[in-house]
Amino acid sequence: NIFTIEKKKTELYQELGLQARDLRFQHVMSIATRNNRIIMRMEFLKAVITPEFLLILDYRNLSLEQWLLKELASQLAGEGQLVTYSLPFEFRAIEAILQYWISKLQGRLNTLQPQILETLEALVDPKLLSVDRSKLHILLQNGKSLSELETDVKVFKETILKILDEEEVIEELCLSKWTDPQVFEESTSGIDHAEEMELLLENYYRQAEDLLNEARELRVLIDDSESIIFINLDSHRNVMMRLNLQLTMGTFSVSLFGLIGVAFGMNLESSLEEDSRIFWLVTGIMFLGSGLVWRRLLSFLGRHLDPPLPPHVPAVLKKSQPAAGKVEMKTSAKGDTFGLSRSTLTNQ
């Protein structure tokens, strides 16, 4: 039965037998026991578990309300469990909250993963000569969300691991074992509830570990894609620098032989300007000389900028089989004849 109540905090912690600090809302993650009560804090989700009921405090999130009304009842009733015997109520309540939180984290990763993959595919396209800044902004936001997700998963793992390292806390989480005599008799007859609680926490610890590995793989993919983007940008930058250098060499070549035209363009009289063929001769010399100099500079640039071919490495000659056998014979003789003299070993 799921129902809603409204109570003051003072009345609530007096009824539950808790302190005021136990019901204080903190944006942390912890699982603790107090006065035969289990207090679970999962950031905005806070719950108090007793052997009889599960109390969810101050739920105002729409997705959390949907979970309370649609999924929580069946989980608390024990439907869909793989065990063949019925576990106490606090087991089902803890599992329901842990399942909700791990599903919440998995949903965040499932939302981020296709967005990041689509953005990376658009950024590492070799056909693009420039990087879309809007895509980089989207990748930056998704990378920040992924970092927050990794932090939340790590905190979830550390919270469970802290409990797994302390056997006394695991024993305290089994509330019905100490309050219900029938449950205690069942535990002594073959069902160890502390072991069941440990297996339950280890299950969600492994799920959190798998989720964290997926997030790390996505992070590595982002880092590798960033390296590819930087390599592409460096390649395009090198092409532009080389083109600029070639144009600078061409300008230098034309300017060098343009001095001839400057000399003939001065207001100085000579007998050459009277011949009509001198203009075409000087112009041809200028263009031909500029082309030859530019060609020479380009060949010099190619020799010094292009990567050299790797040197030819000759194949290593293998030792012949008789030589190898001789070495093996010496080694065997040395191992078998430890007490022989040096001359005897050489003869063998």
Does residue 220 carry a pLDDT above 60?
Answer: yes
DSSP conformation class of 189: T
Residue 110 placed within a domain = yes
Other CB atoms within 10 Å distance of the CB of residue 139:
20
Q: Which of 72, 73, 59 is nearest to 98 (CA)?
A: 72
Residue 315 placed within a domain = no
Does residue 200 carry a pLDDT above 60?
Answer: yes
Reported as a pLDDT band with limits 50, 70 and 90, residue 84 is very low
Residue 179 placed within a domain = yes
The DSSP H or E segment spanning 91 is helix 89-123
Residue 288 placed within a domain = no
State the average pLDDT over residues 142-151.
Answer: 92
How many domains in the chain? 1
**How many angstroms separate the CA atoms of 312 and 299, rounded?**
24
**Quick one: pLDDT at residue 345?**
38
**Quick one: pLDDT at residue 61?**
65
Residue 322 placed within a domain = no
Helix and strand counts by DSSP (H, E) for the chain: 12, 4
**How many angstroms separate the CA atoms of 25 and 45, rounded?**
9
Angle between helices 193-264 and 277-305 (to 10 degrees): 160
Residue 223 placed within a domain = yes
Does residue 331 carry a pLDDT above 50?
Answer: no
**CATH number of the structural domain spanning residue 208:** 1.20.58.340
Residue 131 placed within a domain = yes
Which residue segment(s) compose the domain that 222 sits in? Answer: 64-237
**Quick one: pLDDT at residue 321?**
46
SS3 label, residue 306: coil
DSSP per-residue codes, 226-263: HHHHHHHHHHHHHHHHHHHHHHHHHHHHHHHHHHHHHH
DSSP conformation class of 266: S
Q: Is the pTM of this model over 0.75?
A: no
DSSP conformation class of 166: -
Contact at 8 Å (CB) between 80 and 74? yes
Residue 256 placed within a domain = no
pLDDT in tens, 56-69: 887 666 677 778 87
Reported as a pLDDT band with limits 50, 70 and 90, residue 43 is confident
